[in-house]
Amino acid sequence: MNDLREQQGLAGPDGLIRGEEAEERINIAFRGAFAGPNGKLALDYLRSITLNTVLPATATDAELRMQEGMRRLFGIINTRANSTPKES
């Protein structure tokens, strides 16, 4: 319980409270999964279908909610994939 994150109730990019070590393990996995040219291609694709997509004025409430959910998920993935490794 000495973890500052837990003491202050600080959450990760997904809004959940975890210990610093658990957060770093997750970030390491995302940095590895999205590293290199293939990882960049995957992130560029995800960005194109989330952040760079504009829905028409006729979009339904459900379509808007789905698009915002996709944008939120992309934000979490991108934040973790581009996180700075913690020094040991």
* Per-residue pLDDT tens digits for 33-57: 999 999 999 999 999 999 999 999 9
Residue 85 CB coordination number (10 Å): 9
More confident residue, 43 or 87: 43
Q: CA distances (Å), 70 to each of 6, 35, 75, in order?
A: 28, 21, 9
Give the per-residue pLDDT at 53.
Answer: 97
pLDDT score, position 35: 97
Predicted TM-score (pTM) of this structure: 0.86
The string of DSSP codes covering 52-86 is T----TT--HHHHHHHHHHHHHHHHHHHHHTPPPP
Domain boundaries, the chain: 4-81
Residue 87 has pLDDT above 60, yes or no: yes
Mean pLDDT of the chain: 92
